[in-house]
Chains A and B, each alone.
Chain A
Amino acid sequence: MSSELRYTANTQTEHLHARYTGTGHADVTKYDWLTHQHRDTCASIVGHPPLASYLAIADGESIGRVKFEMMERMLQPCGPPPPKDDD
């Protein structure tokens, strides 16, 4: 089709996607991708009460504590980021 479309139609959706946290691109690192997965997991547990209570029972903690810990974990779920290569 028209060249206009080639440049706009699909790049726009990509652009749109890039505005959201958690989306990735061809050069994403293992650490970044997995960090997002872990955060999503934590958020999912906080957001689904049955899941939170299941974990609370398994851990022997209160539900509130589980939620709190999940929340705290979201900061750096997989540990500190790998050191940056200087080159």
Chain B
Amino acid sequence: MDEQPRQLESYTAPKDVLDELTQLAEEEDFDPFAETASKRQVASRQSDYQKRRFAIDRDGGVSKDAFKEGEDGEGEGTGYKDAMRLARLEQEEQRVKRAIAEKERKEKEEGEKEKMDLDKTPPREELEAAAAEVATIRKKRRWDVGEPAAADDAKKAEAPGEWSKEALENAAPKKRRSRWDATPADVGAGAPGETPKRSRWDQTPVAGQPSTISAPILFPQTPIPGMGFMAPDGDKNNRYLSDEELDAILPSAGYIICKPPDGYAPIQNAARKLMMTPVPQFGGFQIQDESDAAAAAAAAGLAPELPTEIPGVGSLAFFKAEDAQYFSKILKEEDETELSVDELKERKIMRLLLKIKNGTPPVRKTALRQITDKAREFGAGPLFDKILPLLMERTLEDQERHLLVKVIDRVLYKLDDLVRPYVHKILVVIEPLLIDEDYYARVEGREIISNLSKAAGLAHMISTMRPDIDHVDEYVRNTTARAFSVVASALGIPSLLPFLKAVCRSKKSWQARHTGIRIVQQIAIMMGCAVLPHLRNLVEAIAHGLSDDQQKVRTMTALGLAALAEAAAPYGIESFDAVLKPLWIGIRQHRGKGLAAFLKAIGFIIPLMDPEYASYYTKEVTVILIREFQSSDEEMKKIVLKVVKQCAATEGVTPSYIKQDILPEFFKAFWVRRMALDRRNYRQVVETTVELAQKAGVAEIVGRIVNDLKDEAEPYRKMVMETITKVVASLGASDIDERLEIALIDGIISAFQEQTTEDQVMLDGFGTVVNAFGIRVKPYLTQIVSTVLWRLNNKSAKVRQQAADLTTRLAVVIKQCGEDQLLSKLGVVLFEQLGEEYPDTLGSIIAAVGAIANVVGMTQMQPPVKDLLPRMTPILRNRHEKVQEASINLIGRIADRGAEFVPAREWMRICFELLDLLKAHKKGIRRAAVNSFGYIAKSLGPQDVLSVLLTNLRVQERQSRVCSTVAIAIVAETCGPFTCIPAILNEYRTSELNVRTGCLKALSFVFEYVGPQSAFYCDSVVTMLEDALTDRDLVHRQTASTIVKHLALGVAGLGCEDSMTHLLNLVWPNCFETSPHVIGAVMDAIESMRVALGPGVLLSYVLQGLFHPARKVREVYWRIYNALYLGAADALVPFYPDLGELSDERNVYDRHPLQMFI
């Protein structure tokens, strides 16, 4: 080692360069949409509760159409009786499971004690017992699985539905599946023809899949040639290397390929091998066959790219890996002549669906129309068999869901009563939309269910949804209740009422009562005041629930009453008579959640009452409320606050009562630091306190909390400040006496100074209170201003910004108090701050200077305007929107009020800067800039400004040109048209098209703004208009027509008929234009001629073509005639032609009254 010459370290690029390169490489892979992509998926956004739809098995299969039975005897599918039986079975199953679990738990607890002493390994007997149990259950499960032959049968009868007759008989044992189903072996043995069937117990990954397709079928026994075995999750990065790939990687010499041992069989059951969720590759009900292999390969992601070109479909906007499983049948070419009619139909539906789901908008549109037109031809079964599984896909995205729901909607409309057998299937898929977080999804869900109920009819809807009403799972009951409320709104509450009454009184299960009452609640929430006609009936239907044995039912009843009262407000108190007593008794009996619901109901009912009753009942409830002030339960706190707010707002509750009985306890319980920490509590407390202040008065409330402005907890100070702000803003400060005034100002200043995060709340509070005090604030101004000044020089930009914002709010009050000294001091300091580098802060500072300039006036302004403006010129170049807006406002103000203090040259400089502002995105900025041109031109004389603006017509940007034309028009308006029109006419002579159009546009604005003054100029512009109206360019003629319109309206009645007639003759031939903007402008011009020349003249033009042989001509002329007629029907009377000569023996067309004369 030592002998070797020392090697120099190789020279390489510095480390930071290398780092940057790797970073660049990483950035290239970075997908900015990765995050949003997952967000687009509906499932990825949903809460656990919403995702329960994947876990709950509700596939009811095809149901019987009771109305059809007379026609074809044995209707297909299951009827209401079967559905109810199954529902009961499921409940029983649930009950047994609970009992078993309970028993096991007990045994375990007892066993544990024993085991403590015993050996750690479980006793042999236990193991044997478990094995025996497994064996017995296996035996039972034979129903579920079926012998191979039975499975074959199932295959042959295409989708027999598991509710077919035999299946039904077997349903009982089958339903009694236990958690043992979850083992993969069972899943593997599942009959392929079986519709997916899951229970809540299926927590293991495989069984949790939307479709329980057995793994061996899923992954072909024979490996796809050349592909090797692939990983089940469809991710091509995870698949195994194929032989070819291995050959390519490994050297050919020196290696041999080992034969696997004899007994080896690769584990086919992927789920057991890899504990990851496999994508269900092949949707629904088909068996994987040889010819599907290619499609399967594509589906698994083996194909290098997903196809965007499908045979028979054309190109698509996108194609997801998940789509392949649903559309595998149409992904490959096949000989259509060999397919049966049904298969062809199926493929046709799939193609259309794929086009709708993944196609570009035009493709989607035609496909949607086709599927709608042929809906009855396809039939409900084949359609929904394809659509519904797509909607249950986990990776579904918003857009896809929207489109599929749209398909259902359209198809429903066409299928009408054919849809009956599928109502339950559709409901299972659509109901989750009703609890979606997205408003539009909820609306879509409602629309579908409402259409569904109109198509299927009330009776069928009820018999379909009845079994779900006492479903064991709360999720199902919840969505069913919502669906029922939609049905009620679609078919009317009265038709559903008898059913509702019966359900709410159900003796069999409390779940049914609970759901029934919840339906009423949802009806109230959804229909709002439309419940009023049925209010008494609805209240009566649920009233008895207040004294139910089950606490949940009582709670739901109270919530239902609350919803009804909220919907009915302010009417309908008489309907609640029956429940008042139980409610008020109930609040004395119950505690906890139940009490909270009762209080909520009371809170909504009290505002409906007459004042004296409200006062009485409020007193009754207050005792309980005050007791519950102490409650530690968050939910209870919120409800108590809300009820206090509602009670305080009612007329009957007197201020003295609030002051004596409520306020002391209220402040003790809620005005504590802890309440400020939770956002929702905070808001509730503030709102309630503001409501109490409306009754109790400013002084009472502010006096109680003012000292807390100096509290050490900042969130609490903020809460105090916000409350004071709102109370003072709504009630003013005149009630506040001198002592409180001192305390308040002192508190506010200290709270403002103490804040660590600069908050809008503090700023608003300061501004509101000081403005409310007005002149009373004078003694404190010195202190306040010194605070502001000190903060204006703070290190933090945020603090400086806030101080500037505060100055903006204080300026008016300081002026009111006559403290001009302070204002100029502030002005000077702010002026010095104009070098600020943070744009947000700079914007605030400029706005503050503007506010001071506003109240002081230009002459007294300190610093003088002539110093201020040159300082602003460079700032105008700042691109920040806030800065731009603030500066343009200030400059416009100066130009308007004090232009004479600034030299002309400075103004010209500003003019050039202003041109840039015409490009601003914000309309307010552009408008302010355009107006500033007017002010500047007024003080400088128009020539220079005009030449700047006319030159600007040559720029490329359209927005800039348009704004320039407006500015020219404003200059013309402020300085008189004679200053501008010659310049514009002169500029029109240039050959550049943009400039000429700009000139026309400017003229059009000029004539629009100057109105009757146009009379002096119309002869001057006629020649130019002649030229423009005979131009080949459409836009020219369009703009010229607009000019003619404004001109004609301006000169009406001012004796310019000769030139107007001339212009009408030039405009008239354009009435056959078809381009929408052009024809619009031309029609407007013609209509304004009606005003300028009178309808008679126009009528004589129109008469020429009203009965023209060519329809195209007649149509246009009649349109003009109609406009003319609507504008001046009465004035046309004397001008109608005398058509007496057309009279015949039947009709007389002479207008005799007009032929009389004296």
Chain A interface (Cβ < 8 Å from any Cβ of B): 1, 5-6, 9-10, 13-14, 17-18, 20, 22-26, 28, 30-31, 33-34, 37-38, 40-45, 47, 54-55, 57-59, 70, 78-80, 82
Contact = CB atoms under 8 A, between A and B. Distances in A.
Contacts of B1154: 41
B1146 A59 contact: no
Contacts of B1151: 37-38, 41
A13 B1125 CA distance: 13
Contact of A82 (B1079, B1132, B1146): B1146
Contacts, number: 88
Contacts of A45: 1153
A8 B1114 CA distance: 21
B1147 interface: yes
A8 to B, nearest CB: 9
22 contacts: A13-B1119, A13-B1123, A17-B1119, A18-B1122, A20-B1122, A22-B1129, A23-B1125, A24-B1106, A24-B1118, A24-B1122, A26-B1115, A37-B1136, A38-B1149, A38-B1151, A41-B1133, A41-B1154, A42-B1153, A45-B1153, A58-B1157, A59-B1156, A78-B1148, A78-B1149
Given A17-B1119, A24-B1121, A58-B1157, A9 B1080 contact: yes
A80 B1139 CA distance: 17
B116 interface: no
A16 B1139 CA distance: 29
B1118 A34 contact: no
Contacts of B1076: 1, 5-6, 9-10
A66 to B, nearest CB: 9
Contacts of B1136: 37, 41
B816 to A, nearest CB: 53
Contact of A34 (B1114, B1119, B1139): B1139
Interface in B1062-1091: 1075-1077, 1079-1080, 1083
B1153 to A, nearest CB: 6
Contact of B1158 (A26, A28, A42, A58): A58
Given A10-B1080, A20-B1126, A79-B1148, 4 more contacts: A25-B1115, A28-B1118, A30-B1142, A37-B1136
Nearest to B1107: A30
Contacts of B1148: 78-79
A70 B1153 CA distance: 9
Interface in B1101-1124: 1106, 1111, 1114-1115, 1118-1119, 1121-1123
Nearest to A30: B1142
Contacts of A28: 1118
Nearest to B1133: A44
Contact of A79 (B1126, B1130, B1146, B1153): B1146
Contacts of A14: 1119, 1122
Interface of B: 1075-1077, 1079-1080, 1083, 1106, 1111, 1114-1115, 1118-1119, 1121-1123, 1125-1126, 1129-1130, 1132-1133, 1136, 1139, 1142, 1146-1149, 1151, 1153-1154, 1156-1158
B1077 A1 contact: yes
Contact of B1126 (A17, A30, A37): A17
Which 10 pairs, one residue from A and one from B, show the smallest C-beta to C-beta distance?
A: A26-B1114, A17-B1122, A23-B1122, A79-B1147, A58-B1156, A44-B1133, A5-B1076, A26-B1115, A78-B1147, A37-B1136
Contact of B1123 (A9, A17, A43): A17
A10 B1079 contact: yes
A54 to B, nearest CB: 7
Nearest to B1077: A1
Nearest to B1078: A1
B1130 A44 contact: yes
Interface of chain A, helix or strand or loop or mixed? helix
Contacts of B1133: 37, 40-41, 44
A9 B1154 CA distance: 39
B1153 A41 contact: yes
Contacts of A41: 1133, 1136, 1151, 1153-1154
Contacts of A30: 1142
Contacts of B1077: 1, 5
A3 to B, nearest CB: 9
Contacts of B1121: 23-24
A55 B1156 contact: yes
A4 B906 CA distance: 48
A23 B1151 CA distance: 19
Nearest to B1156: A58
A75 B392 CA distance: 66
A13 B1154 CA distance: 33
Given A40-B1133, A70-B1153, A82-B1146, A54 B1075 contact: no
Contacts of B1156: 54-55, 58-59
A26 B1107 CA distance: 8
Contacts of A24: 1106, 1118, 1121-1122, 1125
Q: Which of the listed residues B1076, B1106, B1154, B1158 has the most CB atoms from chain A within 10 Å of its own CB?
A: B1076
A58 B1157 CA distance: 7
A23 B1111 contact: no
A71 to B, nearest CB: 13
A24 to B, nearest CB: 5
Contacts of A43: 1130
A39 to B, nearest CB: 10
Nearest to A7: B1076
Contact of B1132 (A1, A40, A42): A40
A80 B1122 contact: no
B33 to A, nearest CB: 29
Contacts of B1083: 13
Given A9-B1076, A14-B1119, A41-B1153, A82 B1147 contact: yes
Contacts of A42: 1153
Nearest to B1151: A41
Contacts of A23: 1121-1122, 1125-1126
Contacts of B1115: 25-26
B1038 to A, nearest CB: 11
A82 to B, nearest CB: 7
B2 to A, nearest CB: 84
B1035 to A, nearest CB: 11
A63 B331 CA distance: 86
A30 to B, nearest CB: 7
B706 to A, nearest CB: 60
Q: Which of the listed residues B1077, B1115, B1151 has the most CB atoms from chain A within 10 Å of its own CB?
A: B1151
Contact of A47 (B1130, B1142, B1158): B1130
B1147 A31 contact: yes
Contacts of A17: 1119, 1122-1123, 1126
Nearest to B1075: A1
Contacts of B1122: 14, 17-18, 20, 23-24
A10 B1121 CA distance: 15
A20 to B, nearest CB: 6
A33 B1117 CA distance: 14
A25 B1118 contact: yes
Nearest to B1115: A26
Nearest to A52: B1153
A34 B1149 contact: yes
A25 B531 CA distance: 47
A80 B1153 contact: no
B1026 to A, nearest CB: 26
Given A28-B1118, A34-B1139, A37-B1136, A22 B1125 contact: yes
Given A1-B1075, A26-B1114, A55 B1153 contact: yes
A34 B1139 CA distance: 8
Contacts of A78: 1147-1149
A20 B1123 CA distance: 11
Q: Which of the listed residues A10, A31, A33, A34 has the most CB atoms from chain B within 10 Å of its own CB?
A: A34
A81 B767 CA distance: 76
A26 B1130 contact: no
